[in-house]
Amino acid sequence: MTLVEITPDGYGVDIDIAYATVHNFTGKPVYRRAACYLHADTAELVRRAVELAAPLGYRLKILDAFRPSEAQWKLWEHCPDPNYIADPRRGSPHSMGAAVDLTLVDATGGRELDMGTGFDDMRPASWHGATDVPIQAQRNRLTLLGLMTAAGFDFFRNEWWHYQLFKPRGRYPVLSDSVLPEGMM
């Protein structure tokens, strides 16, 4: 299994791994070390999304990528809600390196675009089709959705920030922290 490290210089993205901070739904760091890895197939699509976003004046800001299976268990124990957290017994696309959580930033000013809710907001207002967020946030979500689907990603309807490879279960194994050169947990 080949995981590729995603770096700002190597991929032209901003990275702010939320689960290595207190800025996530658990209110505490889940990862001991912030790092951004993806399966090579996923990394290729991220590169394509970066290329599509640049002429529009946007950059991608990655909030989570590969999530070791140990971290998936921690998230599930904190919130065992399959509407937002993949049951670790089934496997999360994140734990396969097949999913990425991200947002858009203005390439000139570096500010995040308004998406109507924050990352990890587990309410229907975070769904892609939510119309109870400001019109500009709906436009921004649709721009992100368009860029990511044009790059070849599938999306999760309950989280505007979540994109993944199509049908990753059965194609990619669930991986633990031990596959990394330096662990995140």
The total number of structural domains that make up the chain: 1
| Contact criterion met (CB below 8 Å) for 60 and 139 | no
The SS3 of residue 113 is: coil
Cα(118)–Cα(105) distance, integer angstroms? 14
**In-domain check, residue 36:** yes
Note the pLDDT of residue 2: 83
Note the pLDDT of residue 1: 58
**In-domain check, residue 114:** yes
Catalytic, out of 51, 77, 112, 159 = 159
**In-domain check, residue 184:** no
**In-domain check, residue 185:** no
Question: Which residue reads 């000013």 in tokens?
Answer: 109
**In-domain check, residue 97:** yes
135-151 and 40-53 helices, crossing angle to 10°: 130
Cα(110)–Cα(70) distance, integer angstroms? 33
Give the structural domain span for 71.
3-179
| Contact criterion met (CB below 8 Å) for 63 and 17 | yes
Question: Which residue reads 């892609």 in tokens?
Answer: 128
CATH number, residue 18: 3.30.1380.10
Question: What string of pLDDT tens digits covers the 185 residues of the chain?
Answer: 589 999 999 999 999 999 999 999 999 999 999 999 999 999 999 999 999 999 999 999 999 999 999 999 999 999 999 999 999 999 999 999 999 999 999 999 999 999 999 999 999 999 999 999 999 999 999 999 999 999 999 999 999 999 999 999 999 999 999 999 999 99
- Catalytic, 159? Answer yes
25 φ, ψ (degrees, to nearest 5): -65, -15
**In-domain check, residue 42:** yes
Neighbours of 21 (CB within 10 A): 14
**In-domain check, residue 159:** yes
Question: Which residue reads 């309807």 in tokens?
Answer: 157
